[in-house]
Structure 1
Amino acid sequence: MDIMNFTSDLFLIYPEIVLTATLIVVVLFDLIFKRLQSWLPILSLAGILTAFIFVVLQFGTNLPAFEYSTKNNLLSIDNLSTYFKGIILITSFFIVLFSIFSSEIKSCRDRHGEYYSLLIGMMIGMFFLISANDLILIYLSMELLSLSSYVLSGFVKNSIRNSEASLKYVIYGSVSSGIMLFGISLLYGLTGTTNLNEINTILRGANSIDITFILSMFMILAGFGFKISVVPFHFWTPDVYEGAPITITAYLSVASKAAGFAVLIRFIKSVFFSGIAQGGYWNLLSYFDWQAVLVLIAIVTMTLGNFTALWQDNLKRMLAYSSIAHAGYILLGVAVLSDQGITAVLIYFAIYMFMNLGAFLIVMIIANKIGSENIDDYKGLGYSIPFLGTVLAIFLVSLTGLPPTAGFIAKLYLFVALVDAKMIVVAIIALLNTVVSLYYYIRVLKNMYLVRDANKSVHIELKPLSFITILLLVVPVILFGVYFTPIVDFAKLSIQILGL
């Protein structure tokens, strides 16, 4: 890699450079202007919007970055990475807005500089993780993401459950990182390289693969599984989601999950891809049966997530198990192993982002007022705060996957991909799981509208910023439920992976 190529490659990572510059500006501003803490979210939003502009300008780019030998590069700038970077930036934009009127974050006014610095650090880690084409860079990016999220999960120190969430997250994260790193070392020992494209070339020429290779795949899958919260790597999720600040819980449930799925898709297709069959289905090298493994994990994940959510009384904990179930649905799209399946995944993520962030936002606003996230404390709230009640109902109905909300479109394209792949039994299991999820979402609405508490009257006066943020989330959920062509067309354009 000569200096000229290195300089030209820097143009391909402008979004990452912008976020890094924003991180430095936020840290310096916090150190120099201690009394101007209110400017920190504004600086963060400015950096996010600037990075988003560069990401939009990059769409359609299909180039390798930082090549160190022929066809071997550290980063791949392609439509898939650009799409997921857009998801992360939009999510980050909303999370910064959430943080402005979050009572939990306001209680830590003296540490706002650290909060926004760590948030941007998570973004940088996710950006490199999404584009990484080398196992070492994947691991380093995942560690940057994880270390920032460990601290943010325990950011509010005045809560015992907050410290417990952070500690459990660190323990589970350390174990999964160690297992993944061991798997990477085994794979490097077998192939002599950590580059995904080079591993693919070596596997194509191999006559047979021993049990060590299979073991390394399961170990690497453990690292990915931890990030996307699938069974049996989900144990951290309920406790961390319940104990962390609601802003961080919402961020982990969308952005971190998106980064995990992006790297999983890239890993499978880059390492095992051997061609495209009729109908856009992938021909994968037969050394590891990805479809069987992913289908099994997805079914167990959605089933456990939905059935465990049934008896949760804490709304954040219920949404945590709901998030696990949704990870199972999305994993089925990956398990189809086709362009149509990945298109369904991208559509699902775009819609999931709006409806899940929206649900967490309403929970946060209500918790700021009543000081509780318990479902029983929502009795009669649909009448005392009709606007928030109606919006929460829309988000919950969309999370269930019922028309005419956007959640129905997300589930529809997923089921169509499964049926076209002749995975009828799997589609039926996913449909039955959707029916189960209806119960615990409707339970919240039952408490809000069908159970009256005469002694309880709650009035919440929304500030203009809160009201605008709610509208920015609820309008797409309704709009994409009836007019979804743009998001579908954009997802179809975004499945391209560099060199494949």
Structure 2
Amino acid sequence: MDLQQSLWLIFPEIIIIITIIVVVLAELILPPQKRHQTGWFAATGLVAAFFVTLNLFKVDTAAEFFGRMVVHDAWSLFFKLFFEISGFLIVIFSLGSKETRGKNQGEYYALLLAVIMGLIFMTSATDLVMILLAMETVGILSYVLVGFNKASSRSGEAALKYLIYGATATGVMLFGMSYLYGLTGTTNLFDIADSIAQSETGFTLTVIMLFILVGFGFKIAMAPFHMWCPDVYEGAPTPITAFLSVGPKAAGFALLLRFFFSTLTQPALDGAFTVVGTFKWPLLIAILSAFTMTVGNLSAITQSNVKRLLAYSSIAHAGYMLMGVVVLHTAGLRAILFYLIVYLFMNIGAFMVVAAIRDGIGSEEIDDYKGIGRRMPFAPIMLALFLFALTGLPPLSGFIGKFYLFFAVIDAGIYWLVTVAIINTVISLYYYARIVKAMFFDEGSQTTPVPVTPLQIIVVSISAIPTLILGIYWAPIIDFAEQSIQMLM
């Protein structure tokens, strides 16, 4: 593929890079009172990249370029759209949040756009070197965004913890990748797959994959690599917390699935996959899935801070999505992609409401939520909607997402895992209901009405509408997910 064709296939990324330059220059040119407009430039760039990505679906054949380090396929396009939508929501969210208004607006939006670009390359990478570069782009810039509020000691502490955990996880993963290169003599995933299929490397390969799984597990907040998550989510500005809960998590799943299914499986009949080699990684993932959802849900029960509670909830949802990996079937992969879409709207929506309430009452503690259902009705009603969707109650989108995941696991005959998931779903209803009870049924010490800005109403509604509609009519999203997994076949 020549350079012109290659550049066209990464034209969404080029648009994002141009937008970053425009945002940085606007920060220098605009007077301080107008620098918040850099957020609108960022949002415009993401909308433009979104429509270019849609147009790229017309190129319906997979293509490798840039020395076979990056691939264009339906899988990468699915996640490009995912990150562009989530990035747009976070930018609009940030424009209305007190935590991200003030100085250095251009720097904030430029960093956010750069992280989105790194996430896109994570999902397109088919070479160990590119995987590492993309992950480090996301990681290093994320550390800065978490600590962006320099006046907050909590934000600085969260950034330092994130840096330490991230550097450790990356080092362990890189150690495993170096041995994988030594074992196979190549850094390309498809060449690695050919080498593994032709060699007898059982124990060595198992140790290597365990090291690499540490890096992937860190990105998706999989237990036991989840310890950074609650502190980082609590300390970071709420828009960044919302972004970290969906963006890097989705990229981590995209990379994990591409890596393991490309190197350690082969397509079989009727959408199934067979494991290559002696490493029984599906069983390991099943155990980690059950462990992750259980740790997340049990830990959430004791939390008094809403952001920490949602952090442990995010860990639990990573455990649910890991069930789709275990199935070794396109039904499981389709369920993961669909769940990521519904999780995007209901989780970002929940954090949007938490930010709106924080701006109104100045607190994120559940005890301070008492009685706010009467003081600012819109925000608590929306938060209840998102929490019940996260639980998986019908007729909301979370129910359909869990239905597809659970059905795929049942169809594969892994009954013990779906039993654990059902028990954990019941547990999650308890701690989500605690927040709803505090908002609507407990008496608060304050009765003064709290206003909600029009922009907050708009951004929350943008997330609430898909949360409702996808619980009633979801066929187009399922079909889209089905088309996007063809790269693994």
TM-score bucket of the superposed structures, by smaller chain:
over 0.9
Q: Residue 461 of structure 1 aligns with which residue? A: 451
TM-score by length of 1: 0.95
Cα deviation per residue 1:432-490 (whole Å; 9 max; x = unaligned)? 0000000000000111111112x312423333222221211111111111122222222
The residue aligned with 2:442 is 451
Structure 2 counterpart SS, 1:19:
helix
CA distance in 2, matches of 1:466, 1:369: 11
Greater shift, 33-42 or 261-270, is seen at: 33-42
Q: Does 1:364 align with 2:355?
A: yes
Letter in 1 for 2:485: I
Residues 253 and 323 in structure 1, CA contact (< 8 A), matched pair in contact too: yes
Return the match for 1:169 from 155, 162, 167.
162
Aligned counterparts, 1:57-76, within 5 A = 57-59=55-57, 61-66=60-65, 68=67, 73-76=68-71
Tell me if structure 2 keeps the 8 A contact 1:78–1:497: yes
SS in 1 for 2:70: strand
Partner of 1:402: 393
Q: For the Cα contact (< 8 Å) 1:150–1:170, is it kept in 2?
A: yes
Aligned partner of residue 103 in structure 2, secondary structure: helix
Q: Which amino acid aligns with 1:101?
A: G
Alpha-carbon separation, structure 1, partners of 2:422 and 2:64 = 42
1:274 match: secondary structure: strand
Within-5 A mapping of 1:230-379 = 230-278=222-270, 280-379=271-370
The one of 211, 216, 223 aligned to 2:203: 211
Question: How many angstroms does 1:210 deviate by?
Answer: 4.6
The answer on 1:419 being equivalent to 2:416 is: no
Separation of aligned partners in 2, 1:400 and 1:358:
14
Question: What is aligned with 1:199?
Answer: 192
Secondary structure of 1:28's counterpart equals: helix
What is the match of residue 86 of structure 2? Answer: 91
1:228 maps to amino acid: I
Match of 1:37 among 35, 38, 41: 35
The letter of the residue matching 1:268 is F
Q: What is the CA–CA distance in structure 2 between the aligned matches of 1:34 and 1:163, rounded to whole Å?
A: 28
2:115 is aligned, of 112, 118, 122, to 122
| Alignment check: 8 A CA contact 1:18 1:50 kept | yes
* Higher mean C-alpha deviation, range 394-403 or range 381-390: 381-390
**3-state DSSP class of the match of 1:481?**
coil
> How many Å separate the matches in 2 of 1:387 and 1:465?
13
Give the C-alpha shift of residue 271 in structure 1: 0.8
Matches within 5 A, 1:474-493: 474-493=464-483
Aligned to 2:10: 13
CA contact (8 A) 1:12 1:65 kept: no
| 2:20 paired with 1:28 | no
- Cα distance in 1 for partners of 2:400, 2:487 equals 24
Taking the aligned partners of 1:157 and 1:442, their CA distance within structure 2 comes to: 34
Deviation, 1:7, is 2.6
What count of residue pairs does the alignment treat as equivalent? 487
Q: TM-score when scaled to structure 2?
A: 0.97
User: Runs of 4 or more off by more than 3 Å in structure 1?
Assistant: none
1:336-369 CA-to-partner distances (Å, cap 9, x unmatched) read 1110000000110100011001100010000011
Contact 1:277-1:283 within 8 A present in 2 as well:
no
Q: Does the 8 Å contact 2:196/2:277 carry over to 1?
A: no
Secondary structure (helix, strand or coil) at the match of 1:482 reads: coil
Q: Which residue pairs with 1:385 in the alignment?
A: 376
Aligned counterpart, 1:188? 181
Tell whether the 8 Å contact from 1:385 to 1:458 is kept in structure 2 after alignment: no
Counterparts of 2:191 and 2:255 in 1: how far apart (Å)?
Answer: 17
CA distance in 2, matches of 1:63, 1:181: 28
Output the CA distance in 2 between the equivalents of 1:14 and 1:288: 39
C-alpha distance in structure 2 between counterparts of 1:486 and 1:190, whole Å: 43
Q: How far did residue 252 of structure 1 move? A: 0.2
In the TM superposition, what whole-angstrom CA distance separates every residue of 1:41-90 from its partner, at most 9, and x where no partner exists? Answer: 0110111001101111122533223253xxxx111211111111111111
CA deviations 1:377-410 (Å, max 9, x no partner) are: 0101112222222111111100000111111001
Match of 1:139 in 2: 132
Structure 2: distance between partners of 1:42 and 1:272 = 44
What SS is found at the alignment partner of 1:125? helix
Compare 25-34 and 155-164 and name the one that shifted more. 25-34
Contact 1:381 1:458 in 2 (8 A): no
Any conservation in 2 of the 1:197–1:270 contact (CA below 8 Å)?
Answer: yes
Q: Counterparts of 1:470 and 1:163 in 2: how far apart (Å)? A: 28
Measure the CA separation in 2 of the matches of 1:274 and 1:101: 48
**Could you say which residue in structure 1 is the equivalent of 2:100?**
105
Q: How far apart in 1 are the matches of 2:290 and 2:132? A: 27
Paired-residue identity, %: 46
Query: Which amino acid is 2:414 matched to?
Result: M
Post-superposition offset of 1:314 = 0.1
SS, match of residue 267 in structure 2: strand
Alpha-carbon distance in 1 for matches of 2:90, 2:467: 18
Question: Secondary structure of the equivalent of 2:35?
Answer: coil
| Unpaired segments ≥5 residues, structure 1 | none
Partner of 1:155: 148
CA distance in 2, matches of 1:33, 1:216: 51
Residue 158 of structure 1 aligns to a residue whose secondary structure is coil
SS state at 2:64 partner: strand
**Deviation of the 1:22 alpha carbon:** 0.9
* Partner Cα separation in structure 2 for residue 287 and residue 48 of structure 1: 44
Q: Distance in 2 between matches of 1:103 and 1:13?
A: 34
**Any idea what the Cα deviations from partners look like across 1:235-273, whole Å, max 9, x if unmatched?**
100000000000000000001100110001100111122
Q: Is the 8 A contact 1:162 1:243 kept in 2?
A: yes
Amino acid at match of 1:153: V
Q: Indicate the larger mover: 244-253 or 15-24.
A: 15-24
